[in-house]
Amino acid sequence: QICDRVLKKGWTLVTDESGAMGPHAINKDQWVGFDDAAMIKHKSEFVKKHGFGGAMIWALDLDDFRNVCGCEEYPLLRTINRVLRSYPSGPLCSLSKELKHAITTESSESDLRSEEITPCPQITGDKSDCTKFYTCQFGVLIQQACPLGLYFNQKALMCDWPENAGCKTDQNEIPDDNDESTPSSMEESTSTEMSEIESTTSANEIIDSRYKVVCYFTNWAWYRQGTGKFLPEDIDTTLCTHIIYAFAVLDSEKLEIKPHDSWADIDNEFYTKVSSLAKKGLKVLL
């Protein structure tokens, strides 16, 4: 809406020269403050500098997820990922007609990796740990973990019950007490298998990001008409580490958790669709 008003309806864009706050758009007696990609980049760098746990976006449907502004889908969320999770460079989306230069990161390695993206498997298991797997995001292998109690099923390419996953590694085997070489052989095998993962992905780098990117999903956004309608299928799982589903409520008489909107949550299976994203390594919370 802000993009449409500034670019097409004559609203005036005002930015803070000191960079202490985000821009605001004005039209007569109306004033709207917001964060643009530049301010999101600044805040993400602040998170990184001070060693915070990560960033949260509230909410997914309020980002430009359909690229209405003509820059890219999810410009704010992508900016967070570029700073905190070393994602490849991209445009620093602006409300002016000319886009600013690509976002830069402190690491020249990240820039090099973004320019020379090589193919990697879309999703693959960890050969030394049944609870871990890797997803390919922009040519980079990102380590993910299955929910507690589940193993990665290499055939189904999803987290599954251990008896269904059929996952076996050297670490799962019970060592023979009479085998004095067991510890060293296990260590050697593990390092060899990890080398195999790296060699099969050529120049791809395996990254276990320590920063969380928490995405807030609102079930009422699907009631919007037109391009603002947001569904579970619109969630880009490569841009979030956590999904918070909004929401459930407490029954005042039974004191039990119940759906807030049974038509969306149950009848249209929003609960099921969003919670299933946990199989892709995301943490889903209600």
pLDDT per position as a tens digit, 67-116: 999 999 999 999 999 999 989 888 888 886 433 333 444 443 433 333 34
Instruction: Reply yes or no on whether the pLDDT at 191 is more than 50.
Output: no
pLDDT value for 241: 96
Q: Are 237 and 264 in contact (CB under 8 A)?
A: no
Record the pTM: 0.64
pLDDT value for 158: 76
Give the tokens for residue 107: 């690491």
Task: State the chain's mean pLDDT as an integer.
Answer: 79
Least confident of 52-61, 80-89, 171-180, 267-276: 171-180
SS (H, E, C) 133-162: EEEEECCEEEEEECCCCCEEECCCCEEECH
Fold held by 123-172+182-202? Antimicrobial Protein, Tachycitin; Chain A (2.170.140)
Q: Are 230 and 224 in contact (CB under 8 A)?
A: yes
Transcribe the chain into DSSP letters: -HHHHHHHS-PEEE--TTSSS--EEEETTEEEE---HHHHHHHHHHHHHTT-SEEEES-GGGS-TT-TTSS-SSHHHHHHHHHHS-PPP-EE--SSSSPEEEP--S-HHHHHHHHS-----SEEE-TT-TTEEEEEETTEEEEEEPPTT-EEETTTTEEE-HHHH----GGGSPPPTT-TTHHHHHHHHHHHHHHHHHHHTTT--EE----EEEEEEEGGGGGS-GGG---GGG--TTS-SEEEEE-EEE-TTT--EEES-HIIIIIT-HHHHHHGGGGGT-EEE-
Instruction: Reply yes or no on whether the pLDDT at 6 is more than 80.
Output: yes
pLDDT value for 16: 78
- The residue-averaged pLDDT of 24-49 equals 93
pLDDT value for 246: 95
pLDDT band at 138 (very low <50, low <70, confident <90, very high): low
- The residue-averaged pLDDT of 257-273 equals 96
Give residue-wise pLDDT tens across range 195-223.
333 333 333 344 446 899 999 999 999 99
CATH 2.170.140 range(s) for the chain read: 123-172+182-202
pLDDT value for 18: 67
pLDDT value for 179: 43
Which residue did the predictor score with more confidence, 203 or 244?
244
